Structure 1
Amino acid sequence: MKKFISALTVTGVCLFAFRLAAFIPAYAQDANWQKVDETLGRKPAVSDDVRRYGFPRSDLTVTLDGVTVKPALALGGWVAFKPAHGGAMVMGDLVLLETEINPVMAKMIASGLEITAVHNHLLRASPATFYMHVAGHGDPVKLASAIHDALAESKTPLTITAPASPPPAVELDTARLDRIIGVKGQANGGVYQFNVKRRDPITEDGMPLTPVGPMGVAIGINFQPTGGGKAAITGDFVLTGDEVNPVILALRAHGIEVTALHSHMLDEQPRLFFMHFWANDDAVKLAQGLRAALDKTASTKG
């Protein structure tokens, strides 16, 4: 009798696993991702089950403290789709001019998308840029259509054009920066970028926000060379409440300006705060300051 029950148990587990395995590719096939790509006018970067679409504000010429800000430094809007609840969840961060905020927001709301934050990341930038965080659940194609129609209320480029020339080389000692920050960075559009993961799992509406980089919950650090070994830096620290002031103190002690502190989401666990920063100085010196701030967080190395 015990053997019979054991056999039934194994059979049931195997059957469940088979059905689960069958469900996952079926979902991937049911979601018309090609139609999503066509609607958004671009191909995504795919990481695990997340599809992230970039909307850089390549149409803007933004300057800050004499530095012309490259899109990859601080003007890289994005939306990410992740399978969830029989459809998809979408999260994003859109870069907008002041005059574009309300027209885009009105379209988002009319389509049933949520606005989870609107704020600055930079100070003294000309023209000033603002960042609208959005979220939604449902059919991926309908979500993509809603995002496209909302962005059409701005001057965000909705078609991809090939760059006139390859991006400039990142003229920094990137190997040394890797060692100081503690993770491997990567070049993107003339900017050297780091994604530093937190050690604690992060969820939204019970869904794990993984992979953390594409879902916007990794600590982001960007270096844009400004000549002579110097770099402009910006990005955002992803922090729990008890980490906020230790990180502020560490950044300011190393000559790095804190430019914004706010939330990006509404229902994440643990509750997170996002701290943006700016400096233009010797890249190695700034990396050491950023490392001192990272040491105040539950972040990973390597």
Structure 2
Amino acid sequence: MLSTASLLDYKQLFASPKPQGQAPPLSAQEIASIEAALGKKGNYVQEQAVHNTSLPRNDLKVTIKGEPVPIPFGFGGWVAIKKTTDGKSAVLMSDTVLLQEEVNPLISAAQANGLEVSAIHNHFFYEEPRIFYMHVHGMGAPADLAKRYAAAIKDTKLLPANQPKTTSASQKTGKELFDIPKLDAIVKQQGAVNGPTYKYTVGRNDLNVKAMGAELTTAMGLNSWASFAGTQDKAHIAGDIAMLEQEVNPVIKALRQNNLEVVALHNHMLGDDPRMVFLHYYGQGPAPQLAQGFRAALDELGRHGKRDVMKH
């Protein structure tokens, strides 16, 4: 059990995103240009000076271990744009949800439009169809970045205009499917309901991470998350933990001690300083038990000193 002092430390570590202070804000005109290029209204996170657009793959029908799971469970990508700290340029980062046959065409399209690929990997085991995630980044003026990104995805299902129109279904939402106050008490965070799922997103406000001259914040993909699908008694959990190198194996140990499966371990960015490592995990069981595993992983963040070099 954590001491009172430790609880205060963790409250500070995982507090709601605080103003990061260094990045100039995007102007109303720049935001309008981004949204016009992508053909979708996004979300401007003012305290982080980040414009973020969700890119769900509503065209997919996904199962895990033969059970249907909703797209918000972990099959939605995003693209975010933020100015560099000196205000002379902007940075784009994106996580894309792709079928196997879509990966290499998007690599070619991204590079043809002056964007770069920073990572390609899985987030899940047992899913059908098989899904891959590709991270794309670039630098330039905000409106130009959005236009180049839109050009790269124009012939894919990632483009909002190419997605099927969704109707409000009468299915139960995460609010009815889960005992949210109980889960919040375990995780010591508040999540968000997204259709039939409930998701926690936890930033790394203890770190000052930069890449390509921009601060990486929660809305730019520097976060740990846990998504719940199913029901309170029979739930799926999937998520990602954002770690420093010295935190990797303590987090792995915490997840395995709580019977959560480690699915992938990899980078998301290039040139980030300090270097961040990302771990994806999955589990099934009663939602409170799964939430305890996520909380145990979070408890390892910020706890470990500089990584020692192993001697052989």
TM-score where L is the length of structure 2:
0.82
- Offset of residue 152 of structure 1: 2.7
TM-superposition CA deviations, 1:37-84 (whole Å, max 9, x none): 122111011101211011100000111113322221111110001122
1:55 and 1:128 mapped to 2: Cα distance?
Answer: 18
1:205 and 1:51 mapped to 2: Cα distance?
Answer: 17
1:63 and 1:228 mapped to 2: Cα distance?
Answer: 19
Structure 1 residue 134 corresponds to structure 2 residue 140 = no
Structure 1 residue 283 corresponds to structure 2 residue 287 = yes
SS of 2:160 mapped into structure 1: coil
After TM superposition, the structure 1 = structure 2 runs for residues 30-109 of structure 1, keeping only pairs within 5 Å, are 31-48=29-46, 49-84=49-84, 85-109=87-111
Of the two, which has the highest radius of gyration? 1
Structure 2 gap segments, 5+ residues each: 1-23, 304-312
2:225 and 2:42 mapped to 1: Cα distance?
Answer: 19
- Offset of residue 237 of structure 1: 0.2
TM-score where L is the length of structure 1:
0.84
Deviates more, 1:167-176 or 1:255-264: 167-176
Deviates more, 1:146-155 or 1:43-52: 146-155
Structure 2 counterpart of 1:179 = 185
Q: Alpha carbons of 1:168 and 1:157: their partners in 2 closer, same or farther (altered >3 Å)?
A: farther
2:278 and 2:184 mapped to 1: Cα distance?
Answer: 22
Residues matched between the structures, number: 272
1:185 and 1:56 mapped to 2: Cα distance?
Answer: 19
- Offset of residue 141 of structure 1: 2.4
2:141 and 2:170 mapped to 1: Cα distance?
Answer: 36
Q: Alpha carbons of 1:218 and 1:156: their partners in 2 closer, same or farther (altered >3 Å)?
A: same
Structure 2 counterpart of 1:7 = none
1:287 and 1:243 mapped to 2: Cα distance?
Answer: 19
CA RMSD of aligned residues (A): 2.0
SS of 1:268 mapped into structure 2: coil
Structure 1 counterpart of 2:156 = 154
Q: Alpha carbons of 1:269 and 1:167: their partners in 2 closer, same or farther (altered >3 Å)?
A: farther
Structure 1 counterpart of 2:9 = none
- Offset of residue 228 of structure 1: 5.4
2:294 and 2:232 mapped to 1: Cα distance?
Answer: 20
Structure 2 counterpart of 1:271 = 275
TM-superposition CA deviations, 1:65-123 (whole Å, max 9, x none): 13322221111110001122423211110001110111111010011111100111111
Structure 2 counterpart of 1:168 = 172
1:35 and 1:200 mapped to 2: Cα distance?
Answer: 31
The one-letter code of the counterpart of 1:105 is I
The one-letter code of the counterpart of 1:246 is P
1:107 and 1:130 mapped to 2: Cα distance?
Answer: 17
After TM superposition, the structure 1 = structure 2 runs for residues 153-232 of structure 1, keeping only pairs within 5 Å, are 153-159=155-161, 161-165=165-169, 168-170=172-174, 171-198=177-204, 199-210=206-217, 212=218, 214-224=219-229, 226-227=230-231, 229-232=233-236
Structure 2 counterpart of 1:17 = none
Instruction: Report if aligned partners of 1:100, 1:153 keep a CA contact under 8 Å in 2.
Output: no
Deviates more, 1:199-208 or 1:61-70: 199-208
1:64 and 1:208 mapped to 2: Cα distance?
Answer: 35
